[in-house]
Amino acid sequence: MSYVVDAKGKPCPTPVILAKQAMAEGHAPFTVLVDNPTAVENLKRLAGNQGFTAAVREADGVYAVDFAKGEGCTACEAAVGSPLPAAGGDWAVFVGRDIIGDGDRELGANLMRMFFYTLAQGEDKPGAVLFMNAGVKLPTLDEQVVEHLKALHEAGVEILVCGTCLNFYSLADQLKVGTVSNMYDIVTRMQKAGKVITL
């Protein structure tokens, strides 16, 4: 019988961490039970990154994510410890708010738009842009920032957006660019970056 991890009701990123623990303990195959689609997507991404396959079953609002060891896992496992994918440099931008500075909100919003425009136009691009808290309003509600982020994404910049934060602000269905992510992935990207710029 498959090893079962009951992560129902657990906040992000607990289901991902519990799945990683199951992998580290050598459980394969195993199943993680969760109760929200965001956790399912985070677990599927974890599976792909770690050389596992993930099949999803759903019944009465409970999702069972079945992990199994995939084929050709050596390359997948090697990629887990690889550096942050960098479009132009080994660095990341962490965005925890929707404006720059503590003064006038309109000025702060304009500065944020100018920042991403400048970043998208420049040659030295980060490996990742990470959005949390009110920062998630930018890839959902600010059309100008969205266009700049799309340009960055097309240039190879990874854009991760906190799923818990999107849910908190009721913006989960309005994400226009980037990947719905979790605390575990965002912290990992920060740890792998040579430097992190915080806005």
Domain boundary assignment for the chain? 3-80, 91-198
pLDDT at 49: 84
The half-sphere exposure of 1 on its side-chain side, counting CA atoms within 13 A, is 2
Sheet holding 30-34, edge to edge: 3-6, 30-34, 62-69, 52-59
CATH code of the region 91-198: 3.40.1260.10
**pTM recorded for the entire structure:** 0.72
What pLDDT is stored for residue 80 in this prediction? Answer: 39
Question: Which listed CATH number (3.30.110.40, 3.30.70.270, 3.40.50.10480, 3.50.50.60) goes with 3-80?
Answer: 3.30.110.40
**Residue whose pair of structure tokens reads 């925890």 in the numeric block:** 96
pLDDT at 89: 64
Angle at 166 between CA 65 and CA 181, to 5 degrees: 45
Residues in the chain: 199
Token pair recorded at residue 166? 């999107």
pLDDT truncated to tens, each residue of the chain (199 aa)? 689 999 999 887 889 989 999 999 999 899 999 998 888 988 998 998 889 999 999 999 999 999 999 764 443 443 333 444 444 568 999 999 999 999 899 999 999 999 999 999 988 999 999 999 999 999 999 999 999 999 999 999 999 999 999 999 999 999 999 999 999 899 999 999 999 999 9
Nearest to 126 by CA among 96, 86, 83, 159: 86
C-alpha span between 42 and 145 (Å, rounded): 25
Q: Edge-to-edge strands of the sheet including 195-198? A: 179-181, 158-162, 128-131, 91-95, 195-198
